[in-house]
Structure 1
Amino acid sequence: MKRILNDVALTERDWQRNQAAGPAAPPRSVRVSCTIERTVVEGLPVAVVSPKRAKTATTPFIYLHGGAYINPIIGHHWRLIAALAAENNWTVTVPLYRLAPGGDAAEALTRLAALHRTVERDAQVAPVLGGDSAGGGLALALALHLRDLGQTGPRHLALFAPWLDVTLENPDIAPIERLDPTLSLPGARYAGLLWANGRDPRDPTVSPLYADFAGLCPTTLFVGTHDILLPDCRTFATEARAKGVDLELYEFPEAFHVFIAGTFLPESRTARRLLTGRIRSGG
């Protein structure tokens, strides 16, 4: 992935190939532990992932997958979603939002706000909202969008190495890029501009790092120190706390981008336990 993202032409060919292939099917291990129901909600194709062993009503969770806004969901996403569902008795709603260049931030927020209202209405409780990388940035943008609409937002935000600023102009990124085994700036910036679709890439709907975080729900954020998104995650944590947000930032030494999706890793298991504790405590 790093080699591809280091070249804009390779990035473009790769996303065209990936979008033609379509979203990955849930792996067999996911289908063994969870029930997966396909539906369409507010015009969005949605997968609802529920633990097979659940005996009581489960906590609703909306999960937005990463992929730089241009790549569909992959097997690692499904494995993480299944782990979160099975370990916590959560029902995870996974919208397959429209990717750039066909989709963009403005359309996604409109559809996802409607989906959030539907999940909340059906569960009769505000859901947890989360995502990884681009999906994490989109989750934060959605929470802020719901706030600005005066609507009920998520009860908690769970962000896994969120992409908060598509410009990637933070000067602290460059030293980390040499250490990051996954991400590279040229292709990522190109993908971010596709998602902006003519909007200013610093528009908070595209890059939520530029938003006002007052009134944001409790938030838990995980990121590795070998991830180019670390500096912007630190900036977000500082600014959100200054606005009174209950935010916990967990940095994992030398961990790569979205390490939590490697569900077999001890770091991933630790992160999932921390998230569970935060949500159960109401933090």
Structure 2
Amino acid sequence: MPEAWTRGGKPAADLSPPPGESPIIVLVRPQLAENIGTVARAMANGGLFHLRLVAPRDGWPQDRAWRTSSGADAILEAAQVFPDVPSAVADCQRVFATCPRPRHIVVPLRTARAAAEDLREVNGRRLRAAVLFGPERAGLENEDVACADTLVRYPLNPQHMSLNLAQAVMILAYEWWTAAEPTPPRQLQTHGTQVATKGELEGFLDRLTAELDASGFLEPAHKRPGMVRNLRHWFERGEVTAQELRTLHGVVTELSRGRMRRGRPD
């Protein structure tokens, strides 16, 4: 197969990722250098660092790609260029191909999330994997897809399934990253403080109720139970933090002092 070279003058084979590293993103016949740059940016966001280009329309390298990469220069500097898809994936054990409308073909089909899980499993077995992305206007041709063993399709709005190249790569990069990301999908950002205990919350609510009684806010008496209940529901609806309770205690203290200055100590 023809030897590929990088912009830095190194043989592409010297920069091939060892088996088990992150998947290779293969852009097949990309048309605009700016799109290659934004793809590199998306790759860096998702922890994908190996880029191969198959017959880029305007040749390679193209300075315009660096202008849109937002600092993902290392990916572009190490990008490998190949004349065709078979040579671009010849050293890979698994090849995935994005395909919006697979037809007349029997091959495993995955969503981006499932593909990322498969890629993680492949990565864990120290195999080299690649993902093909087609040209901006027409996508992959049948001959390109024939080089893949798994297809990837994004379940988007069927009335408008239009993604640019960087968006398509970003979706896969995001799923690849989050497949191993330990951040809980649901969490409360408390900025260094802890969620208040029920006892701490109860102490505050007791104090707040006493001050509201003293100020005359919880009048008339027959409406008091409902008003107190509404206040409790409001504070217990979410996870109030200890810092928030300290702030609220300060608010109640100042309101109490103001009431006393106005001659209503009781």
Greater percentage in strand = 1
